């Protein structure tokens, strides 16, 4: 079921799914705020499905202040190493190529709201 949810984000919401770290870097370097979703293995990590459902709700709550993309399984490790984000699933936020912070694993709704609001205000989150 989780893999199907990830496919829905790509197909129905038209979020890109990147197959190379270079493509991730090019996308995150664009103007504006961006959220990169590193899902982890949906067959092994039950939180992946939860984050796949929560993320579109967050985009709506923040009225599209950031766009989203997914990382394909083949580059998850390299992406986590590049941005020094280890737990999955994780949401990594960028502004014009600069990593602003990451929100790992499933959180309480209010925690997402508070952290994303700080990011959109220009603050950089400390690593968790």
pTM for this prediction: 0.95
Domain limits for position 57: 2-120
Rounded CA separation 75/80 (Å): 9
Calculate the CA dihedral of residues 44, 50, 51, 52 and round it to 10 degrees.
90
- Asked whether residue 19 is domain-assigned, the answer is yes
Residues of the chain with pLDDT under 70: 1-2
**Looking at residue 1, what is its pLDDT?**
46
Rounded CA separation 124/94 (Å): 10
Domains held by the chain: number: 1
Rounded CA separation 49/35 (Å): 17
- Asked whether residue 57 is domain-assigned, the answer is yes
- Asked whether residue 72 is domain-assigned, the answer is yes
Token couple for 53? 């459902």
- Asked whether residue 29 is domain-assigned, the answer is yes
**Looking at residue 116, what is its pLDDT?**
97
- Asked whether residue 32 is domain-assigned, the answer is yes
**Looking at residue 118, what is its pLDDT?**
96
**CATH number of the CATH domain containing 104:** 3.40.30.10
- Asked whether residue 94 is domain-assigned, the answer is yes
**Looking at residue 123, what is its pLDDT?**
83
């Amino acid at each position: 079921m989780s893999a199907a949810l990830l496919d829905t984000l790509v197909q129905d919401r038209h979020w890109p799914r990147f197959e190379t770290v270079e493509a991730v870097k090019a996308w995150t370097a664009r103007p504006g705020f961006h959220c990169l979703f590193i899902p982890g293995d949906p067959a092994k990590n039950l939180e992946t499905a939860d984050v796949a459902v929560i993320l579109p709700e967050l985009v709506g709550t923040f009225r599209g202040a950031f766009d989203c993309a997914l990382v394909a399984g083949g580059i998850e490790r390299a992406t986590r190493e590049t941005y020094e984000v280890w737990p999955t699933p994780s949401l990594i936020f960028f502004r014009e190529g600069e990593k602003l912070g990451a929100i790992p694993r499933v959180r309480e709704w209010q925690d997402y709201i508070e952290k994303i609001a700080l990011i959109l205000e220009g603050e950089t989150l400390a690593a968790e």
